[in-house]
Amino acid sequence: MGRRLRRLLSGIALAALCGAPGRGCGLCQAPPKFPPLELGPDDPFDARTPPGFLPGELDDLLLADDRRYRRQVCYFLDTKAPDPHKHLATTARIQGLLRDRAQHVISSLREKLKSGPISAEDRKHGLLLYWFRGPMLENAERDFLASLNRAKPSMPSLSALGETKQTALPAPVQPSPGEQLAERFLRQVELAGDAGQQAELQASIRLMLLTPTGEKLAKEFIASGVKARIAFIPFANSMLIEQNGKKMFNGTGGHCVWTKDRLEIGVNQDYLRTDRDYRLSRLPSTLGHELLGHGLGDFNANKAGVLDAYVNYYRGNEANAGLVGWSIAAELGSEMTDFLMWSYLKDPEDYYRQEQLIRPYYAQTLSPETIKDASSILEERLERSQSALMEIPRRIAAWENWRDIIAHFIVVHKMNSQSFDTRIADIDVMVKRSLPAQSAQLKTVIAGLEKNIAYLRGKDGAAELKRIEKQFRDDFFKRQAVQIEARRAHLESVIRDMSLDIPNRSNLAAWRELQEMYRKDREEFPEHWSQTENISLRRAAARDLL
């Protein structure tokens, strides 16, 4: 069936459903389970069509034209429609409002830049407009948004994406199979979950594929013929947090498992509970890490006959996937907040040492050069893990001591307790959630290392080490080492003008201010910190107030 015929039939079906407002509109009462594959400019706008709304768009849309539009399930009711039979806002109308809003945001960003550098949130907002609303905008507007990306080599032109400037507003038409990279890629990837989850995955996959790294590896993925399934799943170590009113999470982003006939990708379901701008800036790189990093690596290792060594013992497996995900994030202009990335670029060996304290799997990984000394290396890591675990109570006590110090400034110096709210919240997160989670994490690492050391000392373990040593001698791992170095060099070139992004600089400044207050108070009033009654008073206040 041709595209024009499909669109015509779709339009006839929509017209038949969308008769008159209220009870007479079948479309309003029972919208289709999935949005139509193709929408014309005159069709009712369906909010479920990827990418949906960017942060702030929906709120502004509902305020537009003196609150002219009301949400009607997945559609928008035009309360001032001249024809009651055409009461749902059309795709052209809604996209026109989205274009107007994007242009207003661009004007605002230009004005802010006149006063100095813009905030990370403003930059993120501008880049989302570039990626998702670019085809609606003029060349100069797109060029301005592209300039906000500090990773300059990453911004493709519309022609590179197979798009051209449109004089009329674009309809969100799904291309026929084979027209774009995303459609060919998605033929090999099953998206699990409900329609909303699938839409989120599809939006992030399309964003991932717009980057140079995502595009290159997606073509390799397609050529390989490998199949994959992606689903949102729970992770035990996931922790939802809120910073400056923004919802995000700490914990595992996803995992990849090679099965007999396909890759199984699990993505942290807490992504669905975060703010959309956070999700769109993080999920594409997570998918790249798991699908194009681990997934392609697992497929190629299996093809070479070295899957066991690659998946279970090779330390470069995680570094390779990390480089893929970090490159995609940098090319998208995301905030580079992953300290492990900066650690790897500065000193890969230090990166591996830090990684070994995070999960039992990382703790047992080795290189082709060190596999012969596996037992002694794992014993050294066991001692290091045990030492780190013994440090947790001291670290908790150090954080709790800051609670006493804050109480001192509230009680003795009569400072407003509310001025310390963010620092008290930081203390609570560290002593009640983060450090206990690290303790539990280290206990699993220790248990895993003890089990592996005992296994490798036995007959079966010795035989397995010989088999893994043989696999490690395969040229596949020499090619992997070259590939990892090339990806490291590429990432360094992309972020050459960037530095570690600190997610909450205002909190960091507040802590530095408190440290300076504490230092000065000890110099000027040493008796505050030595007299028993002051110490007792401070601790009582900490219990009662904080």
What pLDDT does residue 13 have? 45
pLDDT-derived band at 88 (thresholds 50, 70, 90) equals: confident
Token pair for 452: 């592996």
Residue by residue, DSSP assigns 42-82 as TSBP-TTSTT-PPTTHHHHHHHHHHH-EEEETTEEEETT-S
Q: Is the peptide bond before 503 cis (omega within 30 degrees of 0)?
A: no
pLDDT-derived band at 155 (thresholds 50, 70, 90) equals: very low
Question: How is the chain split into domains, by residue range?
Answer: 7-148, 180-347, 369-472+504-546
Token pair for 231: 């689903």
What pLDDT does residue 39 have? 65
What tens digit of pLDDT does each residue of 338-351 get? 888 989 999 999 99
Burial 35-74 (b: 16+ CB within 10 A, else e): bbebbbbebbbbbbbbbbebbebeeebeeeeeebbeebeb
Lay out the sheet containing 263-268: strands in order across: 189-191, 228-233, 263-268, 254-258
CA distances from 183 to 133, 189, 197, 205 (A): 19, 10, 18, 10
User: Is 156 strand, coil or helix?
Assistant: coil
| pTM of this prediction exceeds 0.85 | no
Q: pLDDT higher for 69 or 289? A: 289
Q: What is the CATH code of the structural domain delimited by 369-472+504-546?
A: 1.10.287
Q: Is the dihedral of CA 506, 121, 199, 42 positive or negative?
A: positive
C-alpha to C-alpha distance for 98 and 93, rounded to whole angstroms: 9
* Element at 350 (helix H, strand E): helix 348-355
What pLDDT does residue 404 have? 85
Give the mean pLDDT of 13-40: 56
pLDDT-derived band at 167 (thresholds 50, 70, 90) equals: very low
Number of CB atoms found within 10 A of residue 394's CB: 8
Q: Is the pLDDT of residue 3 over 60?
A: no
Token pair for 39: 């929408």
